[in-house]
Every structure is written in structure tokens, then in C-alpha cells.
Amino acid sequence: MSELPLARDLAAIFLEDIPLIDLRAPVEFKEGAFPNAVSLPLMTDDERAQVGTCYKQQGQAAAIELGHKLVGGAVRAARIEGWLAQLRQQPDALLYCFRGGLRSQTVQQWLADEGVIRPRVAGGYKELRRFLIDTQESASAQCHWSVLTGMTGSGKTHMLAKIAQSVDLEGHAHHRGSSFGQLPGGQPSNINFENRLAIELLKRRHQGEHAFVVEDESRLIGRCALPLNLYEAMCQAPLVVVEVPQEERAEQIRVDYVQDLWQRYLEMYGAEDGWPLFAGYLTDALARLKRRLGDKDHRELDGLMQAALKEQASTGDTALHLAWIRLLLTRYYDPMYLYQLNNKRERIQFRGDKQACLAYFAEQHARQTPQESPTC
């Protein structure tokens, strides 16, 4: 088995989107993997648990013997056919297990016995994950970061799409970053969130980019936590403040968090199942702010929201939602934002309306010269 090939160029795996076959158990894959990986495990969760118990109680030799017994005969043949079928679709795929040890070596040898030679990743998942952590840490430390900030509803996420040097953290987290930011379909695991972000930074730094713009975020985007070193870099970064009137912001929230979001639920779940999920999502999001709003304000806002939902369910009109949105901005989001911005006013580098901010970022981008890609 030691003579079979190893893949050692970890950067190339991600830069070239080389397909990966993840041989770890399903529970390991669910905790975290890579966007270019497919789960085709050597052992099921239960089989892995049995082998692990045997290893602890009787040692490695007994565990290996049990593994071959559990994955033998027809089970082994079926799994080999699964790997071969995947390799027929992606003949350049690489194999990996957790550390690049027995599981990937075993599968590599079984495939070789079938006449198919594929490399396994040296160090396995652990080395790939370590490489991406190092990639993200070096980018956080070495790149120039700017933060786009502005009051809730300013349309910052829409602006990022027009900024060449932007990194969409909320896109990677599949969440809009506020109490109302949950999107249908759920969020990735934190490891998958970090991996996707690191791969984007790797590719863009490889192309010579070294300055990035992100939206102002707290450490948590939904339940995805930003890497601490990146968050700390953002907390020290210069700020660009977009200034948008409240009425325009309220309309943007109505479109993004009511009208467009309902369409997402409708497309994913259909009208009958989607409506109670959507209405429950809005109601629960407001309820999460009850402690900060106080009971009286929460009851008033909830009453306005339920009236708006009733009208929307009846006629499809979402205009009534503007009543609770305006009130929530006035009583909660705007005062909170102004307080927070005042505490970091010394970091403000530029402020203006949307067009002025976009022009500022375009000018900054034009001044940047590509740098040689890092070796990390």
C-alpha cells in the first residue's frame, strides 16, 4: 500500500477544484468537509463505532480484523462499486480519510486490485483542514480589510455585489446576519462556513488580490461564528459608512425580509406548507427581541406584524408591514446603530450615499496593484 501514490499539493486541490472522495463515516462528513467532496464512506457510523470500541478494548490488530469482517463480502463489493462509479464520473478524484491512514490506504488498495490507481491525500482531512485554517489566518493578518457599515436596511449586501473587492460573509453563512436574517434551507456547519471562506480567499489571493471589503458583522452570523482573527481584523479595519434615509431603508427591509423571503419559502415549500413557516419565522424573529424591546413595545410591534401578515395572506399585499418595520427601526435598530457607530467613529474613513460609497470603493480598487500570490 505504501507504493501507491500520494497527493501532497494541497493548494492545487482547492485552486483547481479537484474532486474528492471522503471515506470517513457520515457523521464525520456532516460535521465538516469540503465543497469539492462527496461522501462515500468505507464504514457506516455504526460500523465505525464498533471498530472504535474494539480498538480501545483489544487494540489495533483486533480492530482491523473486525473492520474487514464488517466490510467484507457483498458489503465490500457494493462499496467498491460505489467508488468505481464515482470515479467513472470524476476520474481525477482523490481519496481521503481523517488522517490519511488505514481507511484511505485500504480503499486505495482495493481500488488498485480492481485496476484503478488513484492518489490519497497525504494527511487526509486533518491536513486539508489545517491548510485552510492557515490560509484564512494568513489572509486575515496580511490583507487590507475595509468594512462597509450603515443603518439596518441600507442595502449593504446589495452594494457588496457591486464592489469588485467584496467578500460576502453572509452568503457563505447563508444568513442575513440579524434576528430576522434566517433563510430557508438552514446554515452550513461552522467548519463548512470557514472552509468555503478560506477557499475563496485562497483563490483570490492566488490571483493577486490583497484588499477586501466586508459588511459590518457581529462575531456570529446566525449560528456561524467568524474566525476570531478575521473578526479582530474587522474590528480594527477602516469604516465606510453608507447613509440612507429611514423611509428608503424601511422599503428595502420590506422587499428583502418580507416580499423576497416569502418567495423563497414559496419556492422551497409551496404555499400551503410555506406560509405557516414564513409567518412563524417573522413572529419568532420579533419575539427574540422582546427582552430588549420591553413587553409593551413588543406587544405593539407584534400586533402590527400580525395585522400585516393577515392582510398579506388575504390579498398578497405587503405594504402594511412597513408600519412595524418603521417602528422597529425608530425604537430599536437605529438608536443601537448610532450608539455603536459613535464608539468607533475614529475608524470612519469615508461616508456618503450609496453611489458615493460605491465610487469610493471603485477608486480604491483602481489604485490597487496585484501582488504575487502567497506561498501558503
Residue 283 host element (H or E): helix 260-287
pLDDT of res. 335: 96
Mean pLDDT across the chain: 95
Contacts of 56 (CB under 8 A, 6+ apart): none
DSSP string for residues in 95-132? EE-SSSSHHHHHHHHHHHHTT----EETTHHHHHHHHH
| pTM of the predicted protein model | 0.91
Listed in order, the ranges of the chain carrying CATH 3.40.250.10 are 6-122
Fold of 6-122: Oxidized Rhodanese; domain 1 (3.40.250)
- Grid cell of 283 as nine digits: 413572529
pLDDT of res. 374: 58
Report, as an integer, the average pLDDT of 251-273.
Answer: 95
Sheet holding 348-352, edge to edge: 211-215, 144-150, 239-242, 348-352
Say if residues 320 and 308 touch (Cβ distance below 8 Å). yes
pLDDT in tens, 79-120: 999 999 999 999 999 999 999 999 999 999 999 999 999 999
- DSSP secondary-structure letter at 347? G
Is 373 or 353 the better-scoring residue by pLDDT?
353
pLDDT of res. 375: 45
Would the pLDDT of 29 be above 50?
A: yes
Would the pLDDT of 178 be above 90?
A: no
Report the alpha-carbon distance of residue 328 to residue 261 in Å, rounded.
18
pLDDT in tens, 203-219: 999 999 999 999 999 99
Please say whether the dihedral angle defined by the alpha carbons of residues 104, 105, 111 and 117, taken in this order, is positive or negative.
positive
pLDDT in tens, 119-155: 999 999 999 999 999 999 999 999 999 999 999 999 9
Q: Is position 143 annotated as part of the catalytic site? A: no
Report, as an integer, the average pLDDT of 329-352.
Answer: 96
Would the pLDDT of 242 be above 50?
A: yes
Say if residues 172 and 193 touch (Cβ distance below 8 Å). yes
Which one-letter amino acid corresponds to residue 29? F
Which of 54, 97, 224, 357 is an active site residue? Answer: 97
Q: How far is CA 172 from CA 148, 181, 188, 193, in A?
A: 17, 13, 8, 6
Percent of the chain at pLDDT > 90 equals 93
